[in-house]
Structure 1
């Protein structure tokens, strides 16, 4: 029987380099779908595994294990697709757009976008749901106000990821804490000392930018035209927001995300039938096929013809293929080898923090899914934290910062493809404006090297001894 060994750095660089070459060439030069590039990359990883002495059966099992780790994301993605479709058909999203155009002043629009999406994501615990509902509305309002869409998308994502990494209801928050062996609320408190200053700095940046762009390109006639078009197409009133209120209340009550989102989609279909005059078949069908309209207003057609499970299938395939690829890489110990190569340099909290964020980022790059990053990073880095007697809260916080906040930066990751597709702005276009992510990462590294908000196990032991 052939002995199994870990890959060398040369082998890792060769395989991961080929992976990046395939992905970039397919998407940028040949205009081919990312899914095909990821599928081909499976066999690169499998080839490396066979070369290292693994059996094909073990490698295939690693693929299925990797996929099973992220199946919750697949189910939630389908539910969010149904929610978007029925909420547009039911007038929920159009009502949000109308009131936004009516009441939000252009100068504070970017700040309002950040705050609204942050509140939504904290209350619901889902960045995908936030972007798919409030995010769509804010992009539409921003376009109506003449504000560059990449900046609007940056404000949406900054708010959405703020809650996704801070809310106790978020699956990434629960995963990062549980895999780091930290209580969820302890993890949230550790995140707050980083997230709140980052949010304040980001809010100032978007406020200043809002005053620079707000009103510069606004065409009031266009705004009124869009509002009238919405009124002509949908029944707009405050009662249209009840499905959104129901979803938020249920999630705040800590009900499971999947059935709550599905309930929200059901209410959207009921609202489409009861208030928008849609026949029952089309109202229910919008959950799968999405909303479809052919009006005389091109802007409305582009904005509202979206949603439905069927329009999520492309992202769903990316998630499955990315999770499978990440599963093989984990089985082969690729990231462990990379970390062990630089282990001698991990002699202080600053270096360990920087390394954790980089490991989480590259897990997003090569695992193509946030779940891969959140699952792998604590496992790979925990020994380095224990060696320095760093509290596991620091590990969970850094894993969350590196895993969650960089997931939308990778064009071929589950988050990158979903966010770009939903918002209609390419990943590379909105990337420079993901200011909350950059500020939070910078603060985490500063904390690491200055010792600010860095806790050690011995500190806790001393407190317990003093208390006793």
Structure 2
């Protein structure tokens, strides 16, 4: 009976928290309101369970401490995305890539371009706001239904969010599991190769069915009017790729790219030092309406909301760990994982945490905590998280990971149905893990005559 009371209380608290999240979504209120309310609920749960105020504060700070590196990196991401706009790096890539778009390959091109930019930028929102908007504009002018182009763009912007060396979710997974991000990226590429190729084939086949004879529009030509599209503007992006090959620390990679972008903005684009500093903090906000509609964004302030979500979510992690809030749930998940494989248990958990949390960060943190007994190997846990929580949350229409991207590119919610890459990764990897599990089981239990 004594164990049933805490379990009942935990269930009630989770229901209240879930109701707060749903209420914020339905009323178009910031998700931070629900997350703050949840933090208060979980904090008082710990006090009710007998922990002192000092202990609860320590649990919270312990959770915060684990994400300190991510918070610094996020601030650098804000600066990086702003200066890549200001220096002409993003306009250069978009301008030249758009020249090769044809109606029959626009879906495939949108997916691949979004994959490329998301790897370079490490942020799905930033990719959606740049190349995603361009691809959607081109697709719309060609008469491609937004449900198709929106699905291709949604899938593409999360390609790099999953495996870019400057991706905040990849950094979060590496930090939580204590693993090396570059080893994780190598494993992510291996486990996503088949889903990636299958997705490319699907979008190519769909494009052949949907393609028209409409000419490629001149929307990206706006960049040529406002920027000097010299090849040097590509240098900040090339530095990210080159230094990543040598496994330089991510913060140092971004600092080098930021420095290069600042020099190019100063010399090639003839921006002032004041404009560069302003963009680094507040983002790039050009006066020209046409350019602003395509390229505005970035800056440290653009990351404040994400920083706040990560801070609150990391406090959850510390409280859950210190108070044992998820102990009962962990036991059920561990038992389930024995039957459907550890990956299957993590996949089911990531779907549930994504439905409840409505944001990618908390889904990753909760899934890792709930499943740490089901998969004790840190390396495998890191890859399983990347192949579940990171890609599942963007498929939930009311989650921030999905709704923000679709809102930015003006695509309908139904576009999630055609974000093929995000479906194929967990399905393919579960099939692989289940095959291995079945073979081990058959070898361990030979037929008896």
TM range (shorter): 0.7 to 0.9
Change (3 A) 1:317 1:249: same
Task: Using the TM superposition, name which of 285-294 and 324-333 deviates more.
Answer: 324-333
Are the aligned partners of 1:294 and 1:301 in contact in 2 as well (CA < 8 Å)?
A: yes
Query: Is 1:204 aligned with 2:204?
Result: no
Distance 1:83 1:367 in 2: 28
Are the aligned partners of 2:110 and 2:156 in contact in 1 as well (CA < 8 Å)?
A: yes
Distance 2:270 2:181 in 1: 45
Distance apart, 1:168 and its partner CA: 7.8
Distance 2:244 2:186 in 1: 20
Change (3 A) 1:155 1:145: closer
Give the counterpart of 1:83 among 80, 83, 89: 80
Are the aligned partners of 2:334 and 2:345 in contact in 1 as well (CA < 8 Å)?
A: no
Q: Pairwise mapping of residues 136-151 of structure 1 onto structure 2 (< 5 A)? A: 136-146=130-140, 147=144, 151=148
Distance apart, 1:119 and its partner CA: 5.2
Q: Describe the superposition over 1:3-49 as per-residue Cα deviations: whole angstroms up to 9, x where unpaired.
A: x98974322221111112112212322x3222122112111111222
Give the counterpart of 1:274 among 267, 273, 287: 267
Give the counterpart of 1:9 among 1, 7, 10: 7
Distance 1:337 1:177 in 2: 26
Task: Using the TM superposition, name which of 436-445 and 337-346 deviates more.
Answer: 337-346
User: 2:447 corresponds to which residue?
Assistant: none
User: 1:357 corresponds to which residue?
Assistant: 347
Q: Pairwise mapping of residues 123-272 of structure 1 onto structure 2 (< 5 A)? A: 127-128=122-123, 132=126, 136-146=130-140, 147=144, 151-152=148-149, 154-162=151-159, 165=162, 191=188, 194-215=191-212, 218=214, 220=216, 223-224=217-218, 226-272=219-265
User: 1:21 corresponds to which residue?
Assistant: 19
Root mean square deviation of aligned Cα: 3.8
Q: Describe the superposition over 1:410-451 as per-residue Cα deviations: whole angstroms up to 9, x where unpaired.
A: 678775587568x45589565434322211111233234333
Give the counterpart of 2:56 among 54, 59, 62: 59
Are the aligned partners of 1:85 and 1:291 in contact in 2 as well (CA < 8 Å)?
A: yes
Query: Is 1:340 aligned with 2:337?
Result: no
Distance 1:164 1:230 in 2: 25
Structure 1's unaligned 5+ residue stretches are 460-468
Are the aligned partners of 2:64 and 2:318 in contact in 1 as well (CA < 8 Å)?
A: yes
Query: Is 1:406 aligned with 2:392?
Result: yes
Distance apart, 1:287 and its partner CA: 1.1
Distance 1:185 1:241 in 2: 23
Task: Using the TM superposition, name which of 166-175 and 316-325 deviates more.
Answer: 166-175
Distance apart, 1:140 and its partner CA: 1.2
Are the aligned partners of 2:136 and 2:150 in contact in 1 as well (CA < 8 Å)?
A: no
Are the aligned partners of 2:114 and 2:127 in contact in 1 as well (CA < 8 Å)?
A: no
Q: Pairwise mapping of residues 373-452 of structure 1 onto structure 2 (< 5 A)? A: 374=364, 377=367, 380-384=370-374, 395-409=381-395, 415=401, 419=405, 423-424=408-409, 428=413, 431-451=416-436
Distance apart, 1:375 and its partner CA: 5.5
Q: Describe the superposition over 1:232-259 as per-residue Cα deviations: whole angstroms up to 9, x where unpaired.
A: 2222233321221122212222111123
Distance apart, 1:143 and its partner CA: 1.2
Distance 2:317 2:17 in 1: 12
Distance 2:406 2:322 in 1: 30
Distance 2:305 2:336 in 1: 41
Task: Using the TM superposition, name which of 235-244 and 161-170 deviates more.
Answer: 161-170
SS in 2 for 1:334: coil
Query: Is 1:290 aligned with 2:275?
Result: no
SS in 2 for 1:94: helix
Task: Using the TM superposition, name which of 308-317 and 191-200 deviates more.
Answer: 191-200
Distance 1:322 1:412 in 2: 18
